[in-house]
RNA sequence: GGUCCCAUCGUCUAGUGGCCUAGGACAUCGGCCUCUCACGCCGAAAACACGGGUUCGACUCCCGUUGGGAUCACCA
């Protein structure tokens, strides 16, 4: 039974890179019909917040990554860690270290200055006496010779010299356990079979393997995925723009687009670009994960988003669009109408936010003309035509797109003008600008009453300013 | 600096020794379509970091150089 886990520390929003790690774990588990466990690594009590925990849940749900069992919280598992520590204590595999942290810090700096690797010197390693009144940390008695091999599912075999590793601290002087210890204990205790995580953990892996061995626990499989970098090839961070998954939701991205983008960053399946979630579960494998780091490419995400917007139904898009419209001051009370007008914007919008902006003219009482557009198309010469259109519209019984087209056809031939010459002034009068969905569609959706009012408003505008 | 990892178009990538005159996608640039803007379609430009080997034959294997990244906490 495959069991993977996603173990974020709740110190902020869900980062794009973390989401990708979660996705790969989730896909691997689901592909193998296994479990996907969520573990909140909140041992850093000052930086961890419940708000962040909730934000992480929300982001995972938005992405469609569901987890099995209740989430685990490391802060509630101190007894378990103690138990495992006892085990090590009894075996004599750990020891108390009374070294002064400031002194250690000094030594480290010195080592760096001498261009040597800063390593704990093992001063307390063979200490036999104990000092009950002195503060201490608990260190792992790491083997000083030999090699530790990591058989990485993505990177292949990586060999470390044990002499490179120092005696890492398992418990701090305040009596709380450290990361490398709790991770191993939890992964053992939760029977995690595959540890899929970021590249930045490879150097932790030999120490963790040594801990597994000390605990006499079976070793899981390791798979280290390449990191996501920013445009300047540095680790993706805020300076590269939004890094929070939910920020993308707020900018009008669809979760399918995010998933599809994230998975293709490092994973491929021949030349295929578009994958549904079901397809991913079916096709995902670690063998097809690349080994080199990838750069976050916002343009590709945007393209994927426009693709999924086109795939979405008008009705569901309408539902998704409402919050974006409300943010812009539009109260939507007719969702049917919204779904109807959306048709014209699906192929014109790359995000929901952009779509909301474009639909705005439908909801306005007064149209504000873009100065350039008004100057070019709302001119004195067009007033006669506009007036005639109003007359025809008033008498029109068929106000469907076809009916409107018939009227426009008549006018263009009678006045010997092109459709462009007729449509553009209408577009400006009706929408305020020169770009919109098809003019018949806009007129039909707006309805006779609003169209006539806007055309009349335009004539008044021309007479005053034209 | 030590250790570890990585290296195909600007970017994501296909490529697992001959199928490569290196394929696809995004972005870019042209054209077509057209009531505008888009969409769509067609086309162009664009890469195997470098140097040695191994081999009848290297993008593919090995070594080195260069470049990039990660990590070296009583953070996770």
> pLDDT (tens digit, 9 = 90+) per residue, A342-378?
999 999 999 999 999 999 999 999 999 999 999 999 9
Q: How far in angstroms lies nucleotide B19's C1' from the CA of residue A268?
A: 21
Closest residue to B34 (CA to C1') is A420
Which whole number is the average pLDDT over A249-259? 98
On whether the CB atoms of residues A231 and A240 are closer than 8 A, the answer is: yes
Which whole number is the average pLDDT over A121-128? 87
Closest residue to B4 (CA to C1') is A203
Which whole number is the average pLDDT over A29-45? 95
Nearest nucleotide to A348, CA against C1' atoms: B38
Phi, psi (deg, nearest 5) at residue A386: -60, -45
Is a pLDDT exceeding 80 seen at residue A115? no
Report chain B positions within 7 A of protein CB atoms: 1-8, 10-16, 23-27, 35-39, 68-76
Nearest nucleotide to A232, CA against C1' atoms: B68
pLDDT band at A242 (very low <50, low <70, confident <90, very high): confident
Q: How far in angstroms lies nucleotide B27's C1' from the CA of residue A190?
A: 45
| Helices and strands of chain A, counted as H and E runs | 19, 12
Which of A74-83, A182-191, A236-245, A274-283 has the weakest average pLDDT?
Answer: A236-245
Is a pLDDT exceeding 80 seen at residue A113? no
Which whole number is the average pLDDT over A126-151? 92
On whether the CB atoms of residues A434 and A373 are closer than 8 A, the answer is: yes
Nearest nucleotide to A274, CA against C1' atoms: B25
Give the CA distances from residue A265 to residues A97, A268, A290, in Å, rounded to whole numbers and listed in that order. 44, 8, 9
- Residue A236: per-residue pLDDT: 84
Closest residue to B71 (CA to C1') is A203
Kindly state the tokens that stand for A56: 């992480």
Q: How far in angstroms lies nucleotide B33's C1' from the CA of residue A130?
A: 86
Q: How far in angstroms lies nucleotide B72's C1' from the CA of residue A327?
A: 48
Is a pLDDT exceeding 80 seen at residue A114? no
Q: How far apart are CA A437 and CA A391, in angstroms?
A: 24
pLDDT band at A408 (very low <50, low <70, confident <90, very high): very high
pLDDT band at A238 (very low <50, low <70, confident <90, very high): confident
Q: How far in angstroms lies nucleotide B66's C1' from the CA of residue A231?
A: 21
On whether the CB atoms of residues A221 and A156 are closer than 8 A, the answer is: no
Domains in chain A (CATH in brackets) are 3-71+228-299 (3.40.50.620), 77-225 (3.40.50.620), 313-362 (1.10.8.70), 371-465 (1.10.10.350)
Is a pLDDT exceeding 90 seen at residue A103? no
Is a pLDDT exceeding 80 seen at residue A83? yes
Full strand arrangement of the beta sheet holding A94-97: A94-97, A137-140, A169-171
On whether the CB atoms of residues A221 and A153 are closer than 8 A, the answer is: yes
Q: How far in angstroms lies nucleotide B9's C1' from the CA of residue A122?
A: 52
Kindly state the tokens that stand for A113: 């200055």
CA angle A210, A214, A216 (to 5 degrees): 115
- Residue A178: per-residue pLDDT: 94
Mean pLDDT of chain A: 95
Q: How far apart are CA A193 and CA A223, in angstroms?
A: 11
Which residues have CB under 8 Å from A164's CB, separation 6+? A117
Closest residue to B6 (CA to C1') is A292
Is a pLDDT exceeding 90 seen at residue A384? yes
- Residue A39: per-residue pLDDT: 98
What predicted TM-score, i.e. pTM, was given to this entire model?
A: 0.95
Of the candidates A256, A257, A191, the residue with the CA atom closest to the CA atom of residue A5: A191
Dump pLDDT digits (tens) for A430-448.
999 999 999 999 999 999 9
Is a pLDDT exceeding 70 seen at residue A410? yes
Nearest nucleotide to A273, CA against C1' atoms: B25
Is a pLDDT exceeding 70 seen at residue A466? no
Query: ipTM for the complex?
Result: 0.96
Dump pLDDT digits (tens) for A168-209.
999 999 999 999 999 999 999 999 999 999 999 999 999 999
Nearest nucleotide to A103, CA against C1' atoms: B74
Give the residue numbers of A annotated as catalytic, written as ranges: 238
Q: How far apart are CA A132 and CA A44, in angstroms?
A: 27
Of the candidates A170, A230, A160, the residue with the CA atom closest to the CA atom of residue A202: A160
Q: How far in angstroms lies nucleotide B24's C1' from the CA of residue A309?
A: 22
- Residue A110: per-residue pLDDT: 80
- Residue A45: per-residue pLDDT: 82
């Amino acid at each position: 039974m495959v069991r993977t886990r996603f173990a974020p520390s709740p110190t902020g929003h869900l980062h794009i890179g973390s989401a990708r790690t979660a996705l790969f774990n989730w896909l691997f588990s689901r592909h193998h019909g296994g479990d996907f466990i969520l573990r909140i690594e909140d041992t850093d009590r000052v930086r961890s917040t419940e708000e962040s925990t909730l934000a992480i849940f929300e982001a995972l749900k938005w992405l469609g990554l569901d987890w099995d069992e209740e989430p685990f919280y490391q802060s509630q598992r101190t007894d378990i860690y103690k138990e495992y520590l006892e085990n090590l204590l009894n075996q004599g595999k750990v020891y108390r270290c009374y070294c002064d942290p400031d002194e250690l810090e000094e030594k480290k700096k010195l080592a760096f200055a001498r261009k040597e690797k800063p390593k704990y010197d093992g001063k307390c390693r063979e200490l036999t006496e104990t000092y009950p009144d002195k503060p201490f940390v608990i260190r792992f008695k790491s083997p000083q010779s030999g090699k530790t091999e990591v058989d990485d599912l993505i990177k292949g075999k990586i060999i470390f010299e044990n002499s490179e590793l120092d005696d890492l601290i398992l418990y701090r002087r305040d009596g709380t356990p450290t990361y490398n210890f709790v991770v191993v204990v939890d992964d053992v205790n939760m029977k995690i079979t595959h540890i899929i995580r970021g590249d930045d953990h490879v150097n932790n892996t030999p120490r963790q393997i040594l801990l597994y061995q000390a605990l006499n626990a079976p070793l899981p499989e390791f798979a280290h995925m390449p990191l996501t970098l920013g445009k300047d090839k540095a680790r993706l961070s805020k300076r590269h723009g939004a890094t929070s998954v939910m920020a993308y939701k707020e900018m009008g991205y669809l979760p399918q687009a995010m998933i599809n983008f994230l998975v293709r960053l490092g994973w491929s399946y021949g030349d295929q670009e578009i994958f549904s979630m079901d397809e991913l579960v079916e096709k995902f494998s670690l063998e097809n994960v690349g080994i080199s780091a990838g750069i976050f490419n916002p343009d590709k995400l945007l393209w994927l988003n426009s693709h999924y917007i086109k795939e979405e139904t008008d009705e569901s898009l309408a539902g998704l669009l409402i919050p974006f419209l409300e943010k812009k001051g539009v109260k939507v009370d007719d969702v049917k109408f919204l779904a109807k007008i959306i048709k014209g914007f699906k192929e014109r919008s790359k995000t929901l936010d952009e779509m909301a902006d474009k639909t705005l003219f439908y909801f306005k009482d007064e149209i504000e003309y873009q100065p350039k557009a008004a100057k070019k198309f709302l001119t004195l010469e067009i007033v006669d035509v506009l007036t005639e259109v109003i007359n025809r519209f008033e008498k029109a019984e068929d106000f469907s797109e076809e009916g409107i087209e018939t009227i426009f056809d008549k006018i263009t031939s009678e006045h010997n003008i092109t459709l462009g010459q007729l449509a553009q002034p209408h577009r400006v009068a009706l929408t305020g600008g020169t770009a919109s969905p098809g003019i018949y569609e806009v007129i039909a959706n707006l309805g006779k009453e609003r169209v006539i009012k806007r055309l009349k408003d335009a004539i008044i505008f021309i007479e005053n300013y034209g």
